[in-house]
Amino acid sequence: MKTTSDGPIGLFDSGVGGLTVARALARKLPHERLLYFGDTAHLPYGEKSPEAIRSYALGISRHLIEQGAKAIVVACNSASAVALDVLQAELDIPVYNVIDPVVAHLHRQNAKHIGIWGTRATVSSGIYPRKLAEVLPTSEVHTMATPLLVPVIEENLLRGEVTDAVVSLYLRDPRMQGVAHLVLACTHYPLIATQIAKQLESKVNLLRVPTIVANAIARELGDAGLLRQTPHPEPHHFAVSDYTDSFAKVSRIFFGKGIHLIEENIWGA
């Protein structure tokens, strides 16, 4: 397939959390059109097997390519952790992930004491400690599975006692002692970054992951000659595999009021 700069950028996640990356990318690259797919029928990916996640990721990526995507952004840490190699081997367009830009950022910061919050799939993959060990061999990396955060966010409980209690539970974990940089290694989590930040000690740097990822993807698309020079004539397109009013409501918080979700059941009945 011949890839040109005119096509849209495809992004996907297990739900609407990847819209945090889409929003940052839309702000960074206002000329680009985005095709977003949230696989809400299989939410959450963090509790699925690596084999299942790879199958979902490949199916969605092919669906986005059929819609004209010139590049794929895996806007999901779980899929980035276990499916990236398969996607890069099977697809003939560029595939970007949300992990490598964060690792590169921490490398530039020469970070020493790093905490990683993610899904069970991301943490079990060991990808963050492995990649960070390659560039920061003397750093301490503490990974924590924080599975209660995704359902809280998907239920639109973005602030209040429930969210504060879950955040407090994880922050009290002994592995958080001495952490100087905290990575929210799930694209859902930035939606409660304010609630997390207010409970953090002042010395802890909470990374702005969507912005870091968007800046890195913009650079790579530019290097590949895949950036549009004029505004795309069509609006962004947002789809989910299983539409509910709750997903529609929370999506407007993730991306903005202009979003309109439609259902595209690519998996069949």
Whole-number Å distance between alpha carbons of 238 and 172: 37
Whole-number Å distance between alpha carbons of 214 and 29: 9
3-state helix, strand, coil in the chain (%, to 5): 45, 15, 35
Whole-number Å distance between alpha carbons of 234 and 34: 10
User: What per-residue confidence (pLDDT) applies to 81?
Assistant: 93
Backbone angles phi and psi of 157, in degrees to 5: -95, 65
Whole-number Å distance between alpha carbons of 76 and 95: 13
pLDDT in tens, the chain (269 residues): 557 889 999 999 998 889 999 999 999 999 999 999 999 999 889 889 999 999 999 999 999 999 999 999 999 999 999 999 999 999 999 999 999 999 999 999 999 999 999 999 999 999 999 999 999 999 999 999 999 998 888 788 888 899 999 999 999 999 999 999 999 999 889 989 999 999 998 889 999 999 999 999 999 999 999 999 999 999 999 999 999 888 888 888 888 777 989 999 897 75
Helix (H, G, I), strand (E, B) or coil at 130: helix
Within a 13 Å sphere around the CA of 258, how many CA atoms are in the beta-carbon half? 5
- Domain residue spans of the chain: 9-98+212-263, 100-209
Q: Residue 50 corresponds to which tokens in the numbers above?
A: 């690596």
Whole-angstrom CA distances from 196 to 51, 177, 191, 217, 252 are 32, 15, 10, 26, 21
Residue type, 166: V
> How many CB atoms sit inside 10 A of residue 265's CB?
12
User: What per-residue confidence (pLDDT) applies to 244?
Assistant: 87
Class of domain 9-98+212-263: alpha beta
Q: Residue 34 corresponds to which tokens in the numbers above?
A: 């985005």
User: What per-residue confidence (pLDDT) applies to 1?
Assistant: 53
Whole-number Å distance between alpha carbons of 163 and 188: 13
* β-strand pairing of 237-240 with 261-263: parallel
- pLDDT tens-digit series, residues 202-253: 889 999 999 999 999 999 999 999 999 999 999 999 999 999 888 888 888 8
Given this chain, do its domains 9-98+212-263 and 100-209 carry the same CATH topology?
yes
> How are strands ordered across the β-sheet holding 95-97?
95-97, 71-74, 9-13, 34-38, 237-240, 261-263
Residue partners of 126: CB distance under 8 A and separation at least 6: 143
For residues 11 and 73, the answer to whether their CB atoms sit within 8 Å is: yes
Which residues are known catalytic residues?
Answer: 76, 186
> Residue 240 class from Cβ within 10 Å (0-12 exposed, 13-18 middle, 19+ buried)?
buried
DSSP 8: P
Using the structure block, give the residue that is written with the tokens 């009021």. 257
44: preceding bond cis by omega (within 30 degrees):
yes
User: What per-residue confidence (pLDDT) applies to 203?
Assistant: 87
Which of the listed CATH numbers 3.40.50.1370, 3.40.630.30, 3.40.50.1860, 3.90.850.10 matches domain 100-209?
A: 3.40.50.1860
Whole-number Å distance between alpha carbons of 124 and 116: 12
